[in-house]
Amino acid sequence: PSGASVLAPDPSFVMYKQVSLSLGLNYLGVPLNSETFDLDLKAMLDAIALHNPSLVFLAYPNNPTGNLFEKEAVIEIIKACKGLVIVDEAYAPFANASFMGELGKFDNLLVMRTLSKLGLAGLRLGYLAGHPLIIQELNKIRLPYNINILTQATAEFALQHSDLFNAQTAILCSERSRVLSALEAMSRFCVYPSAANFILFRTHPDQANTLFEHLKKQGVLIKNMSPQGGLMKDCLRVTIGKPEENDAFLQAL
């Protein structure tokens, strides 16, 4: 309904806010812990009690910080919320953690997934799991023809060959560890743990923009988070790619 509230941690996936505001909803961002990017559980619970949000979004692992929130904290939020809690597991292939197994315990829990991080980003195919009665209601507002038959056939074929994607994910996870260790060894950055396919790191004050431009001039494009301000000030984010791409990033750095 118009005027309903949507709540999420801040920073998190930018589309939660953008879509909420475009629909005329009241969007509420609750700041994460400034040191570790963990959930501020008390602040989240206070905001839920005060605003009674219709939707709570929790990216798991979080985007853009890459960390997994504490499972017990997420469960506390699910229990406290009268509305729906959507756990966005877009980066699940890299995380070895999921709330899919909790769906039968909480009627207000929904888990959102995508095939994008399996290496099928061009398909633009995502899916939602939850209580059958909720899914039944969502089906009433789903646009017709929202998934074309070629996408369906491609996804079915790809998922029948999951070993290929599992092997690719394993390589990316190994490369993530290697790049993270290399960044930490430079002793110039604050490097944050990641359960996704990217690594967030913080530069010395007011150096992120300069470093971003320096890398770009060498043909290496990463994500400059610093213009967002707040907890993202002085932060850069690198996506884990092929070993040779990761080598090029580290060499340029």
The pLDDT of residue 118: 84
The pLDDT of residue 2: 61
Please name the residue that has the structure tokens 């790049």. Answer: 179
The pLDDT of residue 138: 94
Domain limit, last residue, from 159, 182, 204: 159
Asked if 190 contacts 201 with a C-beta cutoff of 8 angstroms, the reply is yes
Q: Which amino acid is at 47?
A: A
pLDDT tens by residue, 157-211: 988 998 999 999 999 999 999 999 999 999 899 999 999 999 999 999 999 999 9
The pLDDT of residue 176: 98
Instruction: Return the structure tokens found at 226.
Output: 């610093």
pLDDT tens by residue, 108-161: 999 999 999 888 888 999 999 999 999 999 999 988 888 899 999 999 998 899
Asked if 142 contacts 128 with a C-beta cutoff of 8 angstroms, the reply is no
Same domain, 186 and 233: yes
Report the share of the chain in percent with pLDDT over 90: 90
What is the domain count for the chain? 2
Structural domain boundaries, residue 114: 5-159
The model's pTM is 0.94
Same domain, 96 and 152: yes
Mean pLDDT, the chain, integer = 95
Q: Where are the beta strands (DSSP E) in the chain?
A: 5-10, 26-31, 55-59, 84-88, 109-114, 126-130, 190-191, 198-202, 223-224, 235-239
Domain limit, last residue, from 125, 159, 193: 159
pLDDT for residue 231 is more than 80? yes
Domain limit, last residue, from 159, 177, 200: 159
Q: The domain spanning residue 194 has which CATH number?
A: 3.90.1150.10
